[in-house]
Each structure stands twice: as C-alpha cells, then as structure tokens.
Amino acid sequence: MAKPDLNIVIANPRGFCAGVDRAIKIVELALERFGAPVYVRHEIVHNRYVVEGLERRGAVFVEELDEVPADAPVVFSAHGVPKSVPEDAEQRNMFYVDATCPLVSKVHREVERHDRTGRHILLIGHSGHPEVVGTMGQVEDGKMTLIETVADAEAVEPPHGEQLAFVTQTTLSVDDTKSIIEVLTRRFPDIEMPKKEDICYATTNRQEAVKAIADRCDKMIVIGASNSSNSQRLVEVSKKCGSDARLFPRAEALDWEWLSGLRSVGITAGASAPEVLVEEVIDALRAHYNVTIEEVTTAREDVIFKLPASLREEEAA
C-alpha cells in the first residue's frame, strides 16, 4: 500500500541557541578538565536528551549545593541563579563555573542597576521558572514584583512614591509581553524600560519563523521539553496563527492518531533541543508518509558567546 504524501515545512531558525551551546560546552570542558563527576545545579538546559547524554559522560545533576561534595566542581545552569547561590558556594570554598546565558546575565545587571537607583522592579515572567527565580534572587525580597499576565499589569499596585522599572524573562511570547508592556507604560508613563528588549534574539527568531510557516501547515510539531519556556511559547504562537500545535520531546512520543490524515506539517524546535531530535522526527514521519521537505528561513544567526575565562585558558592550553 502506497504511503500518503506529506509536505514537511521546517522552520529556521530552530533548535540550539548560542546560550545553550555555551552552557553544554561548559559542562563538557569541565568534565575534560576535572574528570567525572562534575556536578550541575539544576538541568543545564531544559532537555532530557541533552541531560542524559551529559550524565553518561559523568555529569551529576542536583537541585541544591548541599548535594555537592565540598571538593567537587559545580556548574550553574544556563537559566541563572539567585545571588545567594554563588555566595553559598564561596562560603563553602567550592569551585564553581557559572553557565548563565549572557543574555540572562544582562537582565541581572539591569536589575542591579535599578536597585542601586532605588527603583521598584516589575519582572514580567512565569512564576517558578528557574530564570525567574534567579532574577528575583538578585535583590532583596520586596524589591521586585512578578507580573505574569495583562490582568496582573492592570492590577499591580507598586509601593507608593517609588520610581519604577521593568525587566522581562528572556524566553517569553513576544506578542503577549508586548501587551503587558503596553499596560504598564499606560499606567506608569515614567516607568524605565530596558535599553534593549530582554527577550532574547533566539526566542524572537524562533517565534517569527513559526509565524512564517504556521498558516501553511495543517499542524505543527514543536520539539522540546515540557518545562522549556521557549518551547511552550512556540506552541502558543503556532496556535494563535491558526495551526494546531503540540510539544513532543522526541520522535518516540509522537501521537500518530493526531498526525493522521495530514497533507502538510510544520516542524520547529525549542532553543534547548538539538538538531538530532529534529532529524529523528523527520525519519519517523518518513516511515509513515512519502515526504517532501521544505525549509523556510526567516533569519540568520551567527551569535557566539565566550566561555568563562577558567575554561578558555584550559581550552587554549
């Protein structure tokens, strides 16, 4: 029986961003330099395939520093950590490497600057996400208020008489965040905005690529982890563009009933999903369909972030 035809439209950019590349490389170089085990506080990036690959090489993932032996190296994840974490590591005389994405670190520096100038900070983000926990942990309790929705922006009552500033999580929906910012700037005309938007280039580019193909696709496959904020946003963006979308961690999780009867399907991947998982999904579709493949490119990415000095020295040696 002949397989039905399926046109696969692949979004580009997709998959790994510069911050994820850097974070994974940091763990790999730490394993080369120090040998196993190297401890990592929290998942280095939100992708089980990546985490399990590093575990096989000797990385040990923990949630808190008290799970790390005092003489073992520890890496902080790409999402960033509260100030209390490196302070705790230094008190314990632990050797640590900070793999925080430089674009998250940029937000941390903005927070520090606003705090020094006495501004109350509104953080647009998702409660409980490690990046939000890390950003809120840059200042004392009470100096920052979390805004998750337009309704929150309409209702927030910051401390009376204090000047305001806002920052955002780097992996938010561009459109949803714009709506929240519009409310904040209407309610608080003097609020200080980031000099350059905090949502990272990779998040923005991946959402724009999905917008470019969604209306051409019966459905959209987003490859990524359920705890990956930027991957979840790609699902939301696709649905808003009229193409039903689902998030799948890899090919073995595909829902073939949901995928039945298609003539076209879009594929993208969150910023922490490696390209091998995209290829895996395409191979799985080939087993069920006679496929043609088209890639739609909306941006070119050439961003590279430097490694921490301690590991750069080792790499050059």
Catalytic residues, by residue number, are: 131
137 vs 227: CA distance, rounded Å:
20
Spell out the residues 6+ positions from residue 199 whose beta carbon is closer than 8 angstroms to its own. Answer: 168, 169, 170, 171, 172, 174, 177
126 vs 236: CA distance, rounded Å:
14
Using alpha carbons, select from 107, 64, 60 the residue that is nearest to residue 89.
64
Beta strands in the chain (DSSP E): 5-12, 38-41, 59-62, 74-76, 96-98, 120-124, 144-147, 164-168, 219-223, 244-248, 264-269, 290-297
Using alpha carbons, select from 301, 297, 279, 269 the residue that is nearest to residue 209.
297
Half-sphere exposure of 176 (CA within 13 A, CB side): 23
Half-sphere exposure of 273 (CA within 13 A, CB side): 32
